[in-house]
Chain A
Amino acid sequence: MERHFDRELNELREKLSSMASLVELMIDTAVKALIERNPELLGEIFNSETEVNKKHIEVDELCLKLIALRQPAGIDLRFITSAMKINAELERIGDQAVNISQNTANLVQQPFFVKLEIIPQMTEVAKSMVKDCIKAFINKDVELAKAILLKDNDLDQQKKDVFKKLISNIIENPAHTEYFIDLLLISRNLEKIGDHTTNISEDVIFMVLGQDIRHHHLFDNHKV
Chain B
Amino acid sequence: MTIIKTNNLNLWYKKFHALLDVNIPIEKNSITSIIGPSGCGKSTLLRTLNRMNDLIEGIRMTGEILIENKNILLPGTDLVSLRKNVGMVFQRPNPFPLSVYKNITFGLEIHNIKSNDTLDNIVENSLKSVLLWDELKDKLKSHALNLTLEQQQRLCIARLIPVKPQILLMDEPCSALDPIATGRIEELMFELKKNYTIVVVTHNMAQAARVSDDTGFMLLGRLVEFNKTSKIFTNPEKKETEDYITGRYG
A interface vs B, CB < 8 Å? 1, 3, 5, 71-78, 210
By a CB distance below 8 angstroms, the chain B residues around A74 are 233-236, 241-242, 245-246
Give me 10 other A-B pairs in contact (C-beta within 8 A), A73-B205, A73-B234, A78-B234 excluded: A3-B247, A3-B248, A73-B245, A74-B233, A74-B236, A74-B242, A74-B245, A75-B242, A78-B235, A210-B234
Contact flags B217-234 to A (C-beta < 8 A → 1, else 0): 000000000000000011
Q: Is the CB of B235 within 8 A of A5?
A: no
Contact of A73 among B233, B249, B250 (CB under 8 A): B233
By a CB distance below 8 angstroms, the chain B residues around A77 are 233-234
Closest to B247 in A: A3
Q: A71-B206, A73-B205, A74-B242 are in contact. Are A210 and B248 (CB under 8 A)?
A: no
Q: Does B209 contact A (CB under 8 A)?
A: yes
By a CB distance below 8 angstroms, the chain A residues around B206 are 71
Between-chain CB contacts (< 8 Å), 19 pairs: A1-B248, A1-B249, A1-B250, A3-B248, A5-B247, A72-B246, A73-B205, A73-B209, A73-B233, A73-B245, A74-B236, A74-B241, A74-B245, A76-B246, A77-B233, A77-B234, A78-B234, A78-B235, A210-B234
Cα A75 to Cα B245 with chains together (Å): 9
Closest to A71 in B: B206
Cα A72 to Cα B247 with chains together (Å): 9
By a CB distance below 8 angstroms, the chain A residues around B250 are 1
Cα A210 to Cα B250 with chains together (Å): 24
By a CB distance below 8 angstroms, the chain A residues around B242 are 74-75
Which 7 A-B pairs give the minimum distances between C-beta atoms? A210-B235, A73-B245, A73-B233, A74-B242, A74-B246, A76-B246, A74-B245
Cα A114 to Cα B206 with chains together (Å): 63
Closest to A6 in B: B248
By a CB distance below 8 angstroms, the chain A residues around B209 are 73
A23 nearest CB across to chain B (Å)? 29
Closest to A2 in B: B248
B191 nearest CB across to chain A (Å)? 25
By a CB distance below 8 angstroms, the chain A residues around B248 are 1, 3
Cα A72 to Cα B233 with chains together (Å): 9
Closest to B231 in A: A210
By a CB distance below 8 angstroms, the chain A residues around B247 are 3, 5
Cα A3 to Cα B245 with chains together (Å): 13
Cα A3 to Cα B209 with chains together (Å): 21
A67 nearest CB across to chain B (Å)? 13
B246 nearest CB across to chain A (Å)? 5
B75 nearest CB across to chain A (Å)? 43
Cα A109 to Cα B236 with chains together (Å): 57
Contact of A75 among B205, B246, B249 (CB under 8 A): B246
Closest to B205 in A: A73
By a CB distance below 8 angstroms, the chain A residues around B235 are 74, 78, 210
A75 nearest CB across to chain B (Å)? 6
Closest to A212 in B: B235
Which of A73, A75, A76, A77 is the most central at the interface, judged by chain B CB atoms within 10 Å of its CB? Answer: A73
